[in-house]
């Protein structure tokens, strides 16, 4: 539940049977929670405009599956912060994905 006054997260205060905001002290009865908005989780997709390709950068890397010499790439921090990032590549022709540790 979010505070109607300052929009911060409220905590239940069981003995008083209210939601209490720790920032501004506002209270709301426990049974009076109301939905103020709805958030829906959606899958991340690559935006493709009509007549244009995906917006990901490309590089000249050979696909180990089909031999195509063009691949999309993204960098992800898959290990600790003190480790280098991992480059994830995807073939522009067959869609095969592979990793390159740097």
Contact 85, 75 (CB under 8 A): yes
- Tens of pLDDT, residue by residue over 22-60, are 888 888 887 755 555 565 656 555 454 444 455 788 899
Prediction pTM value: 0.46
pLDDT at 65 over 90: yes
Beta-strand relationship, 58-59 and 71-76: antiparallel
Q: Which CATH number fits domain 58-101: 2.20.25.10, 3.40.50.300, 1.10.10.10, 2.60.120.260?
A: 2.20.25.10
Task: Encode pLDDT of 19-30 as tens digits.
Answer: 888 888 888 887
Domain positions in the chain: 1-41, 58-101
């Amino acid at each position: 539940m979010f505070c109607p006054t300052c929009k911060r997260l409220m905590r239940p205060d069981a003995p008083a049977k209210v939601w209490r905001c720790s920032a501004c002290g506002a209270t709301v009865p426990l049974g009076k929670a109301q939905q103020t908005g709805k958030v829906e989780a959606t899958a991340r997709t690559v935006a493709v405009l009509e007549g244009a390709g995906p917006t990901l950068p490309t590089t000249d890397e050979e696909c180990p599956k089909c031999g195509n010499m063009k691949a999309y790439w993204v960098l992800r921090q898959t290990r600790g912060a003190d480790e280098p990032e991992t480059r994830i590549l995807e073939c522009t022709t067959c869609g095969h994905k592979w990793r390159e540790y740097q």
